[in-house]
Structure 1
């Protein structure tokens, strides 16, 4: 596994910069090419992050025979179209979350990847972080009994601006798809698909949700209380209440963080030595999958992505949010 996988990035916003920084810490990976519809922006990004080539169109990057895998970091509404274009050019794809705008789009993307036998994965970076993997191990070990309740929130104050992506419905804006996906994912990763979903949202004048309150109920009697908002800064923590312990995922729970495990009134603080900014873990996973000639992740597989997309669709149906 000594050769380097050559990466391309399309859509050069804030998240792409974080991913490019993380990629620098991945053995067997190289940022080879970047693309923006603005060539000057691509050249600036390329210089900052040391890619070999900068392109002024996504198609030019897709047509480059040296590019093996493309990280799609465009606005949500373009994920389906750009990912399908990449797959049709024979490129493996890591598509930023949310994977698509709805389940129908996600199915099209996955069906094409299966048809062409090309690797495709949703960039749910939290799944690959050491602290999150440790939470799953603690829960699945059964040492603390069954899960009774999960609580998670994600909120920050965003000044309303109809011209910005966050408040633009045509770009898939709003709190649910942008940040609410993280609390939803936490509950799903631990408890699976809920038996019952309750949800309500507040809306901006542009039609996107500024906040969403969600409750999942399970046949095991467990429940999840989840919240996302663009109207205020929240603790952005996660909490897993089990029969014999409480696992607190400290702020901010979706990125590299620490844990506090409370048993019998005693607190155990668990810290993790993270490499890079955290985006390197998902990039390293995809790089390994490609070197092993896999076409589907063994951690963030298609079933998880389809379930997560259906969950978001079901929540939106409850709140009346339509894209």
Structure 2
């Protein structure tokens, strides 16, 4: 079965995603935008047969089997629900939604309509992460005790930019923090306690934040992220019998080393020559659709909700609030 894809949104992430996946042979048949002109321009650039001037028309397209949601964070829940109601399988760009309550609404709707839904956390599906997950499962570093990861970027400072606008889910946490938080949950499971501190902009979004999470059995993760500084962006999994060090930039194809208790390198891997890697998550999602398995594989939907809940709590402690927080409380 060939899964036929539609795309909601024509921004930067949609361009990266479609460009990478088209090169890997993914079948895109339609794109939807808020304007017909934008949809037609995007379709012409990437050789997509049909362009729709609204998201409603995109999800109503009978030739679309699955929809990739690439709109700003604040629209993720509504656009995912729109596609689900139309009976489409949905891959939602990270962060999955604004809040855990929104995430649960999307998941419940997908279960009701019996369609697949997954967060597009592409890092989890990179071959290097599959290998690292296997090393941990095989006990090569003993019991994992600590996860450390950073995500720092120097991003646009314009107050009207979506990254700095609370109405659009701006701030470091949803764009950058979701990567290391999801990585920690992948390795250590859902946190049982969250402690966060951060700095807010004049617009009320977080410019930087540090989070310490406690997981089952007393294991811990420490993550830091910021949208106005740069760093190497590395990560480590520290176990009782060794550790795995992931080099810059850890959430992209890169190099890693398995070390023993004394720090000696036991095994290493270099994936820097691999393609960007969005196609890995798409193929995994297509397998979910074809097989009927809704577990999510490397990105279980239960972990997506756990990540959103951890970020909700971190935001609460730091003082970052979005409109969705009020509507979630009301429900």
CA deviation vs aligned residue, 1:281-308 (integer Å, no higher than 9, x gap): 0011111222223344233222111111
Q: Does the 8 Å CA contact 2:194/2:211 hold for their aligned counterparts? A: yes
- 1:107 is paired with a residue whose SS is helix
Could you tell me which residue of structure 1 aligns to residue 33 of structure 2?
36
Shift of 1:82: 0.6
Does residue 64 of structure 2 align to residue 86 of structure 1? no
The separation in 2 between residues aligned to 1:137 and 1:7, in whole angstroms, is: 31
Q: Does the 8 Å CA contact 2:242/2:263 hold for their aligned counterparts? A: no
Could you tell me which residue of structure 2 aligns to residue 191 of structure 1?
188
Could you tell me which residue of structure 1 aligns to residue 328 of structure 2?
none
CA deviation vs aligned residue, 1:15-49 (integer Å, no higher than 9, x gap): 1111112322445x301111111322222221221
Could you tell me which residue of structure 1 aligns to residue 112 of structure 2?
115
| Residue pairs, 1:57-206, within 5 angstroms | 57-206=54-203
Could you tell me which residue of structure 2 aligns to residue 257 of structure 1?
254
Q: Does the 8 Å CA contact 1:120/1:296 hold for their aligned counterparts? A: no
Could you tell me which residue of structure 2 aligns to residue 297 of structure 1?
296
Shift of 1:246: 2.0
The 1:195–1:64 alpha-carbon spacing in structure 2 relative to 1, beyond 3 Å, is: closer
Q: State the TM-score, normalizing by the size of structure 2.
A: 0.92
Q: Does the 8 Å CA contact 2:94/2:119 hold for their aligned counterparts? A: yes
Q: State the TM-score, normalizing by the size of structure 1.
A: 0.94
**Number of equivalences:** 320
Structure 1 unmatched ranges of 5 or more: none
Structure 2 unmatched ranges of 5 or more: 323-331
Could you tell me which residue of structure 1 aligns to residue 268 of structure 2?
269
The 1:319–1:248 alpha-carbon spacing in structure 2 relative to 1, beyond 3 Å, is: same
The separation in 1 between residues aligned to 2:48 and 2:178, in whole angstroms, is: 31
The separation in 2 between residues aligned to 1:246 and 1:300, in whole angstroms, is: 23
- 1:220 is paired with a residue whose SS is helix
The separation in 1 between residues aligned to 2:101 and 2:263, in whole angstroms, is: 47
Could you tell me which residue of structure 2 aligns to residue 225 of structure 1?
222
Shift of 1:205: 0.6
Shift of 1:275: 5.0
Q: Does the 8 Å CA contact 1:237/1:249 hold for their aligned counterparts? A: yes
Could you tell me which residue of structure 1 aligns to residue 13 of structure 2?
15
- 1:9 is paired with a residue whose SS is strand
The separation in 1 between residues aligned to 2:145 and 2:300, in whole angstroms, is: 26
Q: Does the 8 Å CA contact 2:5/2:30 hold for their aligned counterparts? A: yes
